[in-house]
């Protein structure tokens, strides 16, 4: 399926699996735009393919912790328009792991967050945000830990934005109160 990815099915069901996802490598613009913070980190991404896949988008969430404005810190759900709202059957899992998720990590959108604390810190103190991202990578995204069982990984009760919930976008007003 994909090169350099560790893939493990959940309960031997082919439409539910965990993929080991490596943070995107720095680019030539990394120093200019302060990106590449997630390089070296490895995350477990839970993928659930609906019966109507590829006509319906897969459910994608981070299993191990990540600090990012567009990833819910509790459920690991991802706020990514291309998965949640504008999915097309032309897309496949390779697009998600080679393009969509790397772009999400390289270019967070703190204006429409799922993790308000991360977004607030990013907008108020970018240097402290960057340091905290690196700390999270060191604590929770180690390569040697990615395929070890994680508590709660097998549950289906987690909220998941990719299962119909929507995150805020540029076209809508976020009606939730600030914490």
137 catalytic? Reply is no
Task: Considering the candidates 67, 79, 101, 104, report the single residue annotated as catalytic.
Answer: 79
Q: How far apart are CA 128 and CA 20, in angstroms?
A: 27
Residues ≥6 apart with Cβ < 8 Å to 2 = 19, 93, 94, 97, 98
d(CA 43, CA 111): 24
Residue numbers annotated as active site: 79
């Amino acid at each position: 399926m994909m090169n350099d990815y560790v893939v493990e099915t959940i309960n031997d069901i082919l439409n539910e699996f965990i993929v080991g996802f490596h943070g995107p490598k720095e680019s030539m613009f990394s120093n200019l735009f302060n990106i590449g913070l997630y390089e070296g980190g490895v995350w477990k991404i839970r993928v659930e393919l609906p019966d109507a896949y590829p006509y319906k988008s897969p459910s994608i969430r981070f299993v191990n912790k990540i600090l990012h404005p567009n990833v819910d810190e509790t459920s690991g759900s991802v706020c990514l328009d291309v998965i949640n709202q504008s999915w097309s059957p032309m897309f496949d899992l390779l697009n998600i792991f080679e393009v969509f998720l790397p772009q999400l990590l390289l270019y967070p959108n703190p204006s429409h967050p799922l993790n308000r604390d991360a977004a607030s810190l990013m907008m108020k103190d970018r240097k402290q945000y960057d340091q905290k991202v690196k700390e999270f990578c060191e604590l929770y995204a180690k390569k040697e830990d990615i395929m070890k069982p994680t508590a709660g990984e097998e549950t289906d009760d987690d909220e998941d934005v990719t299962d119909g919930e929507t995150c805020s976008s540029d076209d809508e007003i976020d009606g939730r109160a600030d914490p």
